[in-house]
Structure 1
C-alpha cells in the first residue's frame, strides 16, 4: 500500500516516521521541506504539492494545525482532490470541525475519494511511541482496508461509523482508550446507557458534596467556576425530583436540554 503524508511537523512527523518504519512506501509534503528530512533519510519521497502526494498514493493522511488548513490542502488549488485518483482513501488526523469534514467528504465523494475523519488522542508522547487512540468516522470498509497503516500510528484504533448517530457504547469504547477516560465513565454502560438510575450514591448527596466544595472556595476566595456549574446541574436535577436517584441521573438534565437520550442497545463489552 502506497502511503502519502501531508503535514510532518509537531505531531505528524512522529506518526509518519512510525508508518515509514513499518515498511510502507511513502510520499510526503510539508510547507517546510526541512521538516521532512528525517523521513527522506528513511526512504520517503518528497512531493512538491498535496496533489502530487495524492497522485502517488493509495491512502493519504493529513496532520494539520487548523480546519482552514485541512480545507485548503484538500480542496484548494494543487490540493489532494485535484491529484487523487478514484479509489483513493483520505484520512484527516487533525481535530477538525464537522462542517469542514462534511464539505471535504462531499467533494471527495464526487471525485471517487473516500474521506474519513480520524482525530487522534495521546499527545506528542503517544505519537512518538505509536500508542495514540485513533477515532475514525466514516466508511468501515475503507477503515478496515487501511487498518494496517493505522496500527502503526496507534494501538487503539476505533471505527465510530458515520458522524451522526454513533452508538453510545462504541463512542464509550473509543473515549475509554483516549485521554478522555475518567473513573466516573466506567459506570456508563450499566447506568446511563441503559437508563438505570437506581440509587447507589444519591444525587442529593452529590449535590451536598459539591456544595461543600463551592462554599469552601468562596470562603477561601478560590475561583471554582466548573464546580459552580456542576452544582447548578445537581440543583436542577433535584428540582426535577431526581434527588434520591443515583448521582448519574444528573445526566438527564443535559439530555432534556439537548432533546436526546444517551442510550444503547449494544451489549456491554
Structure 2
C-alpha cells in the first residue's frame, strides 16, 4: 500500500516517520512547507493538497489540530470530496467532534470510500517510539485492511463502530485533564504538610492514586518545564470538545467544568503555548513554593525510536 499522511505537527510528524520505517511508500502534506520538507527522503514525496494525497495513496492518514481543520481537509477547496474517493481508505487520528466526524465519514463513504477513526492517546514519546494506544472504530473489514498502517504507529484498540474512537478519546482526555489538575493540589498540599515531593511521588505510584499522568507527567513538574510538547491550547481545545459531547448526551459535568476553568486560568497566566502541567503551576505559585526536584528528568520529546511490544488489543 502507498500511504498518504496529512498533518505533520508534533505527533503527526513522528507517526509519519514510523509509517515510513515500516516500509511504506508515502505522500505527505501539511499547510507548512517546512514540515513537509523535514519528512522528505527516498520513498517519501510531497503532495500539493489533500485531494492530491488521496488520489495518489491507497490509505490516507489525517492528524490535524481539530474539527475545523479536518473539515477543511474533507470538504474544503482541494479537499477529499473534490477527488475520486472510490476504493480509498481514510484513517483519521484527529481529536475531534464525534458528531462532525460521523457526518464527514458518511459523505466520504457515499463517494465510495472507507473511513476508520483512530485517535491516539499517550504523549509525544509514544508517537516517537511507535507504541501509541489508538482507539479504532469502523467496519471490521476496513479496520483489517488498514491494520498494517495502524500497527506501524501504535497499538490497535478496537472500540466498535466508526465514531466510537472519538468518544473514547474524549472521555480518556476528560479523565486525564481532571487528574492533571488534581495532582497540583495534592502535590502542593503534601509539600506544605512536610512530605518531600520525590518521596510523595515514589509512594503514590502503584497505589490507588496512580495513573499515566502520575507516572509520566509529574517529572515535568519536577523539571520545571511542565511538558510543552502538549500545550495548553490543545488542552483547551479538547476540553471544549468534551463539554460539547457532555452537553449533547445531557450528563452532569461539574468536575469537568471546574477543570476546564483551571486550564483556562493556566492559559491566561502563562500563555496558550505553555505546557499542559502548568495547570499545577498555578497552585505552586499561589502557595509561594515550587516543586522542583534535582535530577536528570527525561524530556518526552527527547526519547528515541524503538520497537514496541504488544501491538494490538482487538
Q: TM-score, normalised by structure 2?
A: 0.52
Pairwise CA distance, 1:85: 3.3
Larger Rg: 1
Higher relative contact order (CA 8 A, sep 6+): 2
Corresponding position of 1:56: 56
Q: Distance in 2 between matches of 1:108 and 1:26?
A: 21
Q: Distance in 1 between matches of 2:7 and 2:58?
A: 17
What is the number of residues matched between the two proteins?
Answer: 179
Corresponding position of 1:21: 21
CA deviations on 1:206-238 (whole Å, 9 max, x unpaired) are xxxxxxx9xx9xxx9xxxxxxxxxxxxxxxxxx
Q: Distance in 1 between matches of 2:113 and 2:5?
A: 16
Structure 1 residues 92 and 110, CA, compared in 2 at 3 Å: closer, same or farther?
same
Corresponding position of 1:47: 47
Misfit runs of 4+, over 3 Å = 163-166, 178-181
Q: SS of the counterpart of 2:38?
A: helix
Q: Distance in 2 between matches of 1:129 and 1:94?
A: 19
Q: Distance in 2 between matches of 1:31 and 1:90?
A: 19
Q: Is the 8 A contact 1:20 1:39 kept in 2?
A: no
RMSD: 2.9
Q: Distance in 2 between matches of 1:179 and 1:64?
A: 20
Q: Distance in 2 between matches of 1:145 and 1:79?
A: 23
Corresponding position of 1:160: 159
Corresponding position of 1:104: 104
Q: SS of the counterpart of 1:144?
A: helix
Structure 2 residues without counterparts, runs of 5 or longer: 177-185, 194-249, 252-313
Q: SS of the counterpart of 1:81?
A: helix
Aligned pairs for 1:100-179 (under 5 A) are: 100-154=100-154, 156-163=155-162
Q: SS of the counterpart of 2:39?
A: helix
Corresponding position of 1:247: none
CA deviations on 1:187-220 (whole Å, 9 max, x unpaired) are xxxxxxxxxxxxxxxxxxxxxxxxxx9xx9xxx9
CA deviations on 1:151-196 (whole Å, 9 max, x unpaired) are 1100x21221215789xxxx7xxx7xx9969xxxxxxxxxxxxxxx
Q: SS of the counterpart of 1:136?
A: strand
Q: SS of the counterpart of 1:40?
A: coil
